[in-house]
Structure 1
């Protein structure tokens, strides 16, 4: 029997028997673990030969943010069978993961109908109906940027970049870039002409960002620019040549662009490659006369070097955190923080971000102190506000794993910053700024509000859904439609649970009302619901949602629709 052959258990748990499902024989079994239900075995009613050979193994569910299904846990990660299984431990790497938080929230609301583990709203998704061109062999030379866009177009795209991206991601000298643009479009015979080389990758990256932040739909030119930058960087990697500041700059642009446009795994691997290139070029160390650097341009501005290193760290840290993956830590780093700008930058949040390393042991008091420090900072730029909000949500998720309840003034400030973040997201949608946080933060805010489940948090839920809806209307992609429909489904399940709780309380009052208040007269009888959710017109979109979304394949729509309860009329969808 091979390792991949399924081992059939001689005995099934009570839940799997009643549902007629295959049982793994673990304690709890994989099926009960998936749906979050109690797993019990009725050993007394089984044959003796079955019960003698039955040895249930305690198992722990993996929480990988990018797996399409939950795989069996390796033996090295399983709990000791002697260890009590009252609560399942949270893997350290997954402590910061938004995907794991959403999964646990959904299991708490409705274990049977919870969406699968999935990283929703990673970014706004692919903005063009056609897929990007296939990667050609690296031996094919990259297309020159002068053959893709004109000089005037390049200047317009660079202006868009410096107006919308540079205030948050500031690591390129504006004067130097415009100087290089003037040289690059000169005739090749000109004395000061800039020939094809590594700086073309920088220009292509800036131009691709210019298209990304000026159009809701991608154009072929944007894909050509992104592909040209990739080919240049691949050629320099294969050439085994020493990397330069230009190559590192182009890599930072590429990883930042991928974070906003492609799938999580691809962006994470690119961010790790960027960190290894930074280490290979000693960009993480402060230059000194006694240090021989691998950089080809030792005259690089030290401030630019520091900003490049901070950008590489920022991208790798947060992509790793959100996926529940390991980040790249460069030992011996001596680079000092860059000088802050008056408007504030994303770099100011980097020390706090790195302090949330899930491998560090932190109790609730430490995290509460970090939360307080994050809430104290006031940002004015919308991208920085959303970055601050994302950091606050991450800390909240960490506190929830420790069963710590946020209340009082800190909870009020959490809700206030969430409201500010929603306003910032709508501002960026209106100004054509598709930062990844305009998708991720509103979705995570919705999940956080449902998790808090207070009157104040639920009052903000409508604004959060409206914000997510505006993102969907602006960027009508598969990723955004999936995120909106999933958020709607979580609220629907939450509402169903509230209805069931209300009905239970109503039954208690109805059964005991005569004895508690004999003189109380009810003028009108309480109407009993006599219809189901399926009776509402236009609700067929939910059935289509279950079919189209892989993350909802386990959703029991027929059982859900058969429940007799009063439900609000659902929207027709986006």
Structure 2
């Protein structure tokens, strides 16, 4: 995928960027002083990119403001730096950024902020108009007294399993995982895998990504034994953590780490899973996928990628971010937010229902920055609950995921001692109830998504805490579902969850019994003369002083009494 990325970046931009840029009749004063090509806008792209104060002669300014904004990127100052422009499905005017633009080195897919010490020598070279501008490099980053270790891994996956087995596992992944986490070009993956197994080895990063696909497919199909499946996971880990390979972040590296994180969420502990998702987010930043394109400059003059490649880039960033938010939100850890635009502008594909779009729509409703006053936080949580439960999903895993997010908001509101309205409780119960048959189906199909049992267990806990007639009714089906899934899985973690849920139900029952016993004790110990033996004992003896209308209705009907109009003497 990285090779296509580079090819896409090298395509002709004229077919992607609209009309050809017109040559400006008048350059701004900074561009004229520095002998740069100016686009004639105010501010122009050169001044906006380098932080110059853009200004025109009085006569030239009004003329230039009438020119249309060019649709291509910034010109190359000194033939070295240009602005990266991705094609937009819905073109819009670039917004002003409060930050300086970053720099992307496409050959290494490495992004740094403009204020970075690594970028500063390059800008100094531009400022002093050096003949040879310094490259984007970590000059003097350390003393250099030790050599870097060589790469310690080799391509071995093709020798581990035959091509027929690998091909069947790719088909399993395409049918089970890819519909929900659709961030890979499966057609290209299949072609490259076939070459990899037939004497045309691909690079190590591709092997790490491919190993993640095989491991996930084995997890969902049971094709490989656990030792072989674990070999692919550890092989991918060894590749991804090698210092020679990790120094060059790429789309394939982000994809491989995302696959590793999904596998860990299904099989590993919360802390290490969260750490893996954080690594994915840092790689998204390192590859420069977290910034809007109008605020990124390149160190070479490559054009924008093709629309197909842009879609892959977009989906890799959004799936990686969504996965991290899901893991951190559920675990109660910090959420790394690189840019608010990460979860925007992912448009559904045409044709079949785009489940990846539904996944990102669910996560987009999750509040990622809960800080400040309690009242605005609660209002944001209630609003998020309404949005999440109103998202329509068409996959059993997404039904469970929607319930997970609703339960996560419910837990946060309970910690804040929020007063729930009946409608909000009903939304949580409805989301959890819809997830129960989905969990039963996934368990019977041997689809071990991480929330097959977790959602049902958390829903049972929430129903016990709600303690309403509706929640008690739903608890019966929830516990039956949990028992069915545990019987099917027959694992230690599943049995442990069922045992804990039963303990909580018994504790709730004991609490209710103690309350009933206290009430029975009060009634049993009450003296006979203090009990109400007759409904008329408390009425006045002199009924003649009462209104005739009241006398005719004895014994009193309380409902009629409240509806009565009394005429009081003046």
* TM-score (norm: length of structure 2): 0.61
SS in 1 for 2:241: helix
SS in 2 for 1:358: coil
Find the aligned partners of 1:410 and 1:270 in 2 and give their Cα distance: 34
Find the aligned partners of 1:334 and 1:436 in 2 and give their Cα distance: 25
Counterparts of residues 327-338 of structure 1 (less than 5 Å): 327-331=335-339, 336-338=344-346
Q: Which runs of 4+ in 1 moved over 4 A?
A: 137-140, 286-290, 296-300, 331-336, 517-520
SS in 2 for 1:257: helix
CA separation of 1:293 and 1:223: change in aligned 2, threshold 3 A: farther
Q: Which residue of 2 aligns with 1:312?
A: 320
Counterparts of residues 72-91 of structure 1 (less than 5 Å): none
Deviation at 1:283, TM superposition (A): 1.9
Partner of residue 521 from structure 2, selected from 482, 507, 520: 507
Q: Structure 1 residue 399 and structure 2 residue 399: aligned? A: no
Deviation at 1:437, TM superposition (A): 1.2
Counterparts of residues 512-531 of structure 1 (less than 5 Å): 512=526, 514=528, 515-516=530-531, 518=533
Quick check: 1:142–1:228 contact (8 Å CA) kept in 2? no
- Residue by residue, what CA displacement relative to the aligned partner does 1:450-477 show, whole Å, maximum 9, x if unpaired? 1110111011112212222233223333
Q: Which residue of 1 aligns with 2:253?
A: 247
CA separation of 1:489 and 1:293: change in aligned 2, threshold 3 A: farther
SS in 1 for 2:453: helix
Partner of residue 333 from structure 2, selected from 305, 325, 330: 325
- Residue by residue, what CA displacement relative to the aligned partner does 1:242-295 show, whole Å, maximum 9, x if unpaired? 22211111111111111111111111111111111111111223446962279x
Find the aligned partners of 1:505 and 1:374 in 2 and give their Cα distance: 42
Find the aligned partners of 1:491 and 1:438 in 2 and give their Cα distance: 21
Note the residue ranges of structure 2 that are not aligned, 5 or more in a row.
Answer: 1-148, 536-570
Partner of residue 211 from structure 2, selected from 196, 204, 209: 204
- Residue by residue, what CA displacement relative to the aligned partner does 1:210-233 show, whole Å, maximum 9, x if unpaired? 111113996221111111111111
Q: Which residue of 2 aligns with 1:55?
A: none
Q: Which residue of 1 aligns with 2:461?
A: 447
Quick check: 1:184–1:195 contact (8 Å CA) kept in 2? yes
Partner of residue 213 from structure 1, selected from 220, 224, 227: 220
Q: Structure 1 residue 423 and structure 2 residue 429: aligned? A: no
Q: Structure 1 residue 148 and structure 2 residue 160: aligned? A: yes
SS in 1 for 2:190: helix
* TM-score (norm: length of structure 1): 0.61
Q: Which residue of 1 aligns with 2:392?
A: 378
- Residue by residue, what CA displacement relative to the aligned partner does 1:310-350 show, whole Å, maximum 9, x if unpaired? 12212222222222222222258667432224243311112
Structure scoring higher RCO (CA < 8 A, sep ≥ 6) equals: 1
Find the aligned partners of 2:223 and 2:510 in 1 and give their Cα distance: 36
Deviation at 1:139, TM superposition (A): 6.4
CA separation of 1:184 and 1:287: change in aligned 2, threshold 3 A: farther
Counterparts of residues 90-239 of structure 1 (less than 5 Å): 140-142=152-154, 144-187=156-199, 193-215=200-222, 219-235=226-242, 237-239=243-245
Find the aligned partners of 2:163 and 2:519 in 1 and give their Cα distance: 71
Deviation at 1:416, TM superposition (A): 2.1
Partner of residue 279 from structure 2, selected from 253, 273, 284: 273
Deviation at 1:297, TM superposition (A): 12
Q: Which residue of 2 aligns with 1:264?
A: 270
Using the TM superposition, name which of 500-509 and 312-321 deviates more.
Answer: 312-321
Using the TM superposition, name which of 144-153 and 208-217 deviates more.
Answer: 208-217
Quick check: 2:335–2:368 contact (8 Å CA) kept in 1? no
Quick check: 2:291–2:339 contact (8 Å CA) kept in 1? no
CA separation of 1:223 and 1:157: change in aligned 2, threshold 3 A: same
Find the aligned partners of 2:409 and 2:246 in 1 and give their Cα distance: 42
Q: Which residue of 1 aligns with 2:508?
A: 494
Find the aligned partners of 2:281 and 2:201 in 1 and give their Cα distance: 28
Q: Structure 1 residue 346 and structure 2 residue 359: aligned? A: yes
SS in 2 for 1:291: strand
Q: Which residue of 2 aligns with 1:476?
A: 490
Quick check: 1:443–1:468 contact (8 Å CA) kept in 2? yes
CA separation of 1:373 and 1:196: change in aligned 2, threshold 3 A: closer
CA separation of 1:480 and 1:298: change in aligned 2, threshold 3 A: farther
- Residue by residue, what CA displacement relative to the aligned partner does 1:190-228 show, whole Å, maximum 9, x if unpaired? xxx233521111111111011111139962211111111
Q: Which residue of 2 aligns with 1:81?
A: none
Deviation at 1:145, TM superposition (A): 1.2
- Residue by residue, what CA displacement relative to the aligned partner does 1:331-370 show, whole Å, maximum 9, x if unpaired? 58667432224243311112212x2433355343332222
Q: Which residue of 1 aligns with 2:371?
A: 359
Find the aligned partners of 2:201 and 2:304 in 1 and give their Cα distance: 20
Find the aligned partners of 2:288 and 2:299 in 1 and give their Cα distance: 6
* Number of aligned positions between the proteins: 377
Using the TM superposition, name which of 337-346 and 325-334 deviates more.
Answer: 325-334
CA separation of 1:419 and 1:217: change in aligned 2, threshold 3 A: farther
Find the aligned partners of 1:269 and 1:328 in 2 and give their Cα distance: 11
Quick check: 1:314–1:347 contact (8 Å CA) kept in 2? yes
Q: Max radius of gyration: which structure?
A: 2
SS in 2 for 1:434: coil
Deviation at 1:419, TM superposition (A): 0.9
Find the aligned partners of 1:290 and 1:401 in 2 and give their Cα distance: 41
Deviation at 1:388, TM superposition (A): 0.9
Deviation at 1:397, TM superposition (A): 1.6
Quick check: 1:343–1:380 contact (8 Å CA) kept in 2? no
Find the aligned partners of 1:293 and 1:180 in 2 and give their Cα distance: 29
SS in 1 for 2:518: helix
CA separation of 1:415 and 1:289: change in aligned 2, threshold 3 A: closer
